[in-house]
Structure 1
Amino acid sequence: MSLDEKFIPVRITFYEIVGNLFKKIAGFFGYPENSGMPTIYDIPDEVYVRSQFLDNLPQHRTFWPPVQRPETWFEMIVGPTPKVESVPRYIYESSQEGFYNFYIENYKNIYFLPDWLSEFIQVRLNICLDISLLETIREVLFIGLMVYSQMVILRIALSWFIYINPYTFPWCYLAAAVDWTEDVLQGIVPAILGVNITGSIFLGILGVIADSLNHLIFTMPFLPSEAEEAQLAVNDEMKNVLVFHYLPILWYRHPIPNEIREFWYNERPEILDYMQKAYGDLDIQFLPDNIIQELNQQSDLVTQATSINNHFPTQLLSNEFLTNLSFLHGHLH
């Protein structure tokens, strides 16, 4: 008989003693009549279907370090620079939906700006159609976070070389740029086996923030809440997409930027014609401000000419004056 087999009766006895102890303790709470809290509760069908749909969505995948595709001699020697791998926007025009429609593939890990922030950027900062400035800001933030993470890695590496004093020139600048993170996190993150892991924790935070920029989507001129879920055939494959189409809600709540209306009037009259026909009953101003001012001035001239014609006696108005006045009235009309 082996040693394990000799301890089998002891193990069984211990299990029985612990089981009986738990049953006696549970008896004070009404066991076995009281079954306790239910382990599974009923989920509404629509909530369950929605959760299943979100779980089945694919993830927008990014890679770090970036894929090695050098384009210059510098990148071939040093390596490619980090770039944002954003979700592409597919813009399309339609005679039914308008000229500023686009769709994106639907992922479970994409992020949008809040509606209030997107509205502030479009209305107050006048960033509506051209989002190149926002894309540039995201690129700068992403590269800045990547550069700073490399500085943190270098600072951690210096701490392992005891013969290098990090507070001497030129390492003192690196220590001044990174050591403040240890002052902030050292009281929160404990050391493990005497090893300070605040640098590793801070690197993880930087990585999460930088990777979130890859999944951030700008929806201008629409608000993020205007997205409509649909399915489209992309490369002969049905995919779940988010569609932004028709008239942006901000162009109904607020005046359309004048430079956009001037662009329609001067360079894309077909857009102006579509907007006036499709949304002419919504009391939205589609003409540029200078055209509205000219029309108002012409209307004032017609009103003044009509007033003169009504107030002056007929004998004071010569035939030539009346002829010119009628021509002006008809031309302005």
Structure 2
Amino acid sequence: MTIREQFFTLRQSFFDVVAVGFQKVATAFGFPENPGMPLFPQREYFWNKVSLSDELPVRNVRFPPDTNPQNYIEILIGDSPKPNPLPRFFYESKADGFYSFYIENYKNLMFLPNWLSEFLQVRCHLCLDITFLEVCRETVFIMLVTYYYMISFRIFIAWLISINPYSFPIAYFIALVDWIEDASMGLLPVVGGISLATPLLLTVVGKIADSLNHLVFTMPFLPSEGIPGKAIINGDIKNVLIFRYLPILWYKYPIPNEIREFWYSERPDILKYMQKAYENVDIQFLPDRIIKANEFISTLPIYDVNHLGSYIDLKTNLLTINNRVELQELFDSSNSIIHTLIGIFIS
């Protein structure tokens, strides 16, 4: 009997001794009649309730993205990779508000933290127009996909013995990829003469780039304001996240002035709805220039009650000033307004 066979025999004897020992201990607890605790609970308890995410599907997006050339130049050299974000479906309703939207709900969706979303909306004024965020997403996505292809090309030329990767100008290209292999040398094993650092980097870069496809911007709402629900999309009933009513940030902070200006100038129906629906809430819906004009007019004295009607008419005319008149012009003409009022009161 060889040493290898003796080792196998000794190993099997050890396994048998351990198995007998476990059986004797289990017999004291009713084995084999009592099979023990199951690996998975047989019924639902308070600590293993089925969560919402367990019933949601996984959103699968192809990576690297498919090419979609739009002209002959893109056919020859290829088009730039573009992310595939989850679409937002906006709708207007007097019950849910004018800025409500919903998205399909998936298990692998990603959202910004509440504090970061609040910072971007309050400090960076990225509320309704998120074009800048979309451009940033697309820029980072293009950079990651480009680097992904560079890593793939580096792996490809490593198998071509006719190409010296350390000659000019390939050496500069190699330096952009090999730094991770140099940094991880000794930490990751080498299998078949191939380091696992480069394939691992390829996986990490691809995962980060793919995560940008599942990142959802919820402005003007916070991500935590989403309400699970059902909706019909393309004829199918699907799980959705609904963002509706008035965003919570519009309670905590003043509504951006450009939005209030838009309501006052172009969408008076939204302004009337907001003022009526939230009349019991201390929220300012008028634009700043109208508020300052009201404050300015309220400081004008009334000298004669008999001329109160003329004063009210003048105040009404001031409030209906054309929207294109700047507030600075209103203050510059304050002296002439005061003289006009004095003339009315004296006459």
| 2:6 aligned with 1:23 | no
Instruction: Tell me the alpha carbon deviations over residues 118-172 of structure 1, each in whole angstroms, 9 at most, x when there is no partner.
Output: 1111111110000111111101111110111111222223333344333332112
Which residue is 2:219 aligned to? 220
Which residue is 1:328 aligned to? 311
- The code of the aligned residue for 1:273 comes to K
Q: CA separation in 1, counterparts of 2:273 and 2:115?
A: 29
Unaligned runs of 5+ in 2: 1-10, 317-347
Written as runs of structure 1 = structure 2, the 5 A alignment for 1:27-66 is 27=24, 30-34=25-29, 38-40=37-39, 44-45=44-45, 48=48, 50-51=50-51, 53-66=52-65
Q: CA separation in 1, counterparts of 2:141 and 2:225?
A: 27
- The code of the aligned residue for 2:21 comes to K
- The code of the aligned residue for 1:328 comes to Y
Which residue is 1:240 aligned to? 239
Pair 1:184–1:39, CA change in 2 (3 A):
farther
Look up the SS of the partner of 1:82 in the other structure. coil
CA contact (8 A) 1:105 1:241 kept: yes
Q: CA separation in 2, counterparts of 1:207 and 1:134?
A: 21
Which residue is 2:248 aligned to? 249
Look up the SS of the partner of 1:205 in the other structure. helix
Pair 1:234–1:326, CA change in 2 (3 A):
closer
Q: CA separation in 1, counterparts of 2:136 and 2:115?
A: 19
CA contact (8 A) 2:101 2:243 kept: yes
Q: CA deviation at 1:232?
A: 1.3
Instruction: Tell me the alpha carbon deviations over residues 290-326 of structure 1, each in whole angstroms, 9 at most, x when there is no partner.
Output: 110000011111xx22xx55xxxxxxxxxxxx65465
The TM-score, its normalising length taken from structure 1, stands at 0.82
Which residue is 1:10 aligned to? none
Identity of paired residues, percent?
46
Look up the SS of the partner of 1:101 in the other structure. strand
The TM-score, its normalising length taken from structure 2, stands at 0.79
Q: CA deviation at 1:332?
A: 3.1
Q: CA separation in 1, counterparts of 2:282 and 2:168?
A: 67
More off after superposition, 270-279 vs 53-62 = 53-62
Q: CA deviation at 1:177?
A: 1.6
- The code of the aligned residue for 2:20 comes to K
Pair 1:242–1:184, CA change in 2 (3 A):
same
- The code of the aligned residue for 1:110 comes to L
Which residue is 1:8 aligned to? none
Written as runs of structure 1 = structure 2, the 5 A alignment for 1:109-258 is 109-258=108-257
CA contact (8 A) 1:66 1:80 kept: no
More off after superposition, 117-126 vs 57-66 = 57-66
Pair 1:81–1:332, CA change in 2 (3 A):
closer
What is the alpha-carbon root mean square deviation over aligned residues? 2.7
Q: CA separation in 1, counterparts of 2:45 and 2:73?
A: 57
Q: CA separation in 1, counterparts of 2:310 and 2:189?
A: 90
Q: CA separation in 2, counterparts of 1:326 and 1:286?
A: 28
- The code of the aligned residue for 1:33 comes to A
Look up the SS of the partner of 2:50 in the other structure. helix
- The code of the aligned residue for 2:27 comes to P
CA contact (8 A) 2:63 2:206 kept: no
Written as runs of structure 1 = structure 2, the 5 A alignment for 1:65-104 is 65-104=64-103
Unaligned runs of 5+ in 1: 1-13, 310-321
Q: CA separation in 2, counterparts of 1:41 and 1:209?
A: 33
Runs (4+) of structure 1 moved beyond 6 Å? 14-17
Q: CA deviation at 1:96?
A: 1.3
Instruction: Tell me the alpha carbon deviations over residues 60-107 of structure 1, each in whole angstroms, 9 at most, x when there is no partner.
Output: 221134335432112333444321111110000012111101001111
